Chain A
Amino acid sequence: MKSYLAMFRMKFIAGIQYHAAAWAGIATQFFWGFMLIMIYRAFYRSGGAEPPIEWKQLVAYIWLQQSFLTITNLFFIDNDLISGITDGQVAYELCRPYDMYSFWFVRLTAARLSRFVLRFAPILVAAFLLPEPYRMDLPVSAGALSAFLLSMCLSLFLAIAVSMFVYILTFITMTPLGARIIIGIAAEFLAGQAIPIPLMPEWLQHILNFLPYRYISDLPLRLYSGHISGTDALFQIGLQALWVLGLTALGYLAFRWVTRRIVIQGG
């Protein structure tokens, strides 16, 4: 356990050194959020049928999505791990007395959290202070807030469990590109990071309920504003936890399989 903590500390401290990158990220996320809200504002004002998600719920959805992107982002990749696989540096890790999958999991957790602590606050503060209709409301209840926080923790683990397959596939294909594009871009859409899932056609929403992606990003954002609540909320958090367990177990086995068949590149 101590070795995992030491790894976490090392990676976390290394991660919070990159201040300039963080400010650039904050600016990007802020303007992206602003732009999305303006676009949806135009849709909502043009009227039509009853919207599937209330305006204030949608605003919260978008701001939270931008501010927690470093937790749920599926495009994030640890380049040191990838180059370690493709140039053979990984040989050293195979002769360390730890379980590599768990160790990498901890390392990726630290990387995401270090990026998160640097970035989330300014976006949230701005979102709470903006004039209407752009302002984000406080959570609807204490229950909604705790459901959101619990679900966001599970989202962190689920995002890592899913992204771990990029590394596993890189052991086989020797390039992260294909896996990263499929898992990154396809999942971005399927997780509701391109278009909020409540705004998608219903038949698509039904399909997405059976995939892990929307539990990474969509679920916690809707818990916050009460768009999902009550027993349905509990049920969905339960499903989310099952996805975390299932994909972690599958990743663990796949990781063991590829590392036992490993070929160390570069002599």
Chain B
Amino acid sequence: MITLTNINKTFKTAKRGKGTTAALKSLFRREYKYVQALDNVSFHAGKGEIIGYIGPNGAGKSTSIKVMSGILVPDGGYCSVMGFTPWKQRREYVRNIGVVFGQRTQLWWDVPVADSFDLLRDIYRVPDVEYRRNLELLTETIGLREFINTPLRQLSLGQRMRAEIAASLLHSPKVLFLDEPTIGLDAPSKLAVRQFIRDVNAETKLTVILTTHDMNDIEALTDRVILIGKGRILRDGSFAEIKHEFGKEMSTEEVVAELYRQYEIVV
């Protein structure tokens, strides 16, 4: 379903010391710093799999998601999702995927959620029957009914995130990328979102790749985790196994902190 082989991506950023002198100096000579955001990233995901992508802030999780969803063009490497090269056949490819960025919104701020959904239906050219069926299913399973006719700006974060995830599934994608879908949510909303992802995955064999800092997301959804740090994949395997290595007395959070320390990827 998804194969990445030696994907590389470097960002060039302007470097500048603090203070006025440095700012003035940078007017004449700018120094650049190259940040290797992805360093030979390779992995494979099968159909219907849920993969948890973990790593500290700035490790390259979001960058990988953006490469896989066709938003960023990598410097090198091979990537195939359902036989497409995301950044080359962008328009045909994105029809088949859903993407949620937890820190952004894909719905219109001023209009009721239902209107944003209708616009997405037209953008993805979802046939009417399929659209009604999906909408019905989504409103049922994720509890959209109370607020589907409310403008987005009046929703709570938990309601909004549910609407966001529903929006990414209206066109029946085969692959779903979730970039921190539970960020900032309260416990009931987190549980609802997790339950929902599990249900959709079980029902439609949707392949899901999600990034998160909340290890409860991982434990609730999947066993396979990919650990990324400083752009490199450091580990790809079972989370239960990792926990086992560190012993029983550690909490999940401590396990992850210890894991990051061990790989020296805390920045």
- Is B101 a contact of A92 with CB atoms below 8 Å? yes
A10 CB contacts on chain B under 8 angstroms: 108, 111, 115, 119
Any B CB within 8 A of the CB of A231: no
Residue of B nearest to A266 (CB): B103
Any A CB within 8 A of the CB of B125: yes
Residue of A nearest to B118 (CB): A6
- Is A97 a contact of B95 with CB atoms below 8 Å? yes
A262 to B71, CA, bound (A): 8
Interface size on B, residues (CB 8 A): 33
Q: Is the interface of A mostly helix, strand, loop or mixed?
A: loop
- Is B72 a contact of A264 with CB atoms below 8 Å? yes
A14 CB contacts on chain B under 8 angstroms: 108, 110-111
Any A CB within 8 A of the CB of B104: yes
Q: Indicate the size class of the contact surface on chain A.
A: 20 to 34
Residue of A nearest to B90 (CB): A94
Docked complex: A7-51 residues within 8 A CB-CB of B: 7, 10, 14
Binary contact readout B88-114 vs A (1 if CB under 8 angstroms, 0 otherwise): 001110110101010111101011000
Binary contact readout A75-119 vs B (1 if CB under 8 angstroms, 0 otherwise): 000000000000011011011111100000000000000000000
- Is A97 a contact of B66 with CB atoms below 8 Å? no
A89 CB contacts on chain B under 8 angstroms: 104-105
A267 CB contacts on chain B under 8 angstroms: 57-58, 62, 103
Docked complex: A157-188 residues within 8 A CB-CB of B: none
A88 to B119, CA, bound (A): 21
Docked complex: A251-267 residues within 8 A CB-CB of B: 260-264, 266-267
A146 to B59, CA, bound (A): 61
A96 to B108, CA, bound (A): 15
A105 → chain B, closest Cβ, in Å?
15
Inter-chain CB contacts under 8 Å: number:
67
B104 CB contacts on chain A under 8 angstroms: 88-89, 91-92
A89 to B97, CA, bound (A): 18
Task: Pick the contact of A97: B91, B105, B108 (CB < 8 A).
Answer: B91
- Is A94 a contact of B71 with CB atoms below 8 Å? yes
- Is B119 a contact of A91 with CB atoms below 8 Å? no
Any B CB within 8 A of the CB of A206: no
- Is A260 a contact of B97 with CB atoms below 8 Å? no
Any A CB within 8 A of the CB of B254: no
B62 CB contacts on chain A under 8 angstroms: 267
Any A CB within 8 A of the CB of B124: yes
Residue of B nearest to A92 (CB): B106
A18 → chain B, closest Cβ, in Å?
11
- Is B97 a contact of A95 with CB atoms below 8 Å? yes
Task: Pick the contact of A6: B58, B106, B119 (CB < 8 A).
Answer: B119
Known: A14-B110, A97-B91. A263 touches B123 (CB 8 A): no
| Residues of chain A whose beta carbon lies under 8 Å from any beta carbon of chain B | 2-3, 5-7, 10, 14, 88-89, 91-92, 94-99, 260-264, 266-267
Sampled A-B contacts (25; CB under 8 Å): A2-B122, A3-B122, A5-B122, A6-B123, A7-B123, A14-B108, A14-B110, A91-B66, A91-B71, A91-B101, A92-B101, A94-B71, A95-B97, A96-B123, A97-B91, A97-B94, A97-B123, A97-B124, A99-B91, A263-B72, A264-B66, A264-B71, A264-B72, A266-B103, A267-B62
10 further A-B contacts with Cβ under 8 Å, apart from A97-B94, A262-B71, A263-B11, are: A3-B122, A3-B124, A6-B119, A14-B110, A89-B105, A91-B101, A95-B71, A96-B94, A97-B124, A264-B71
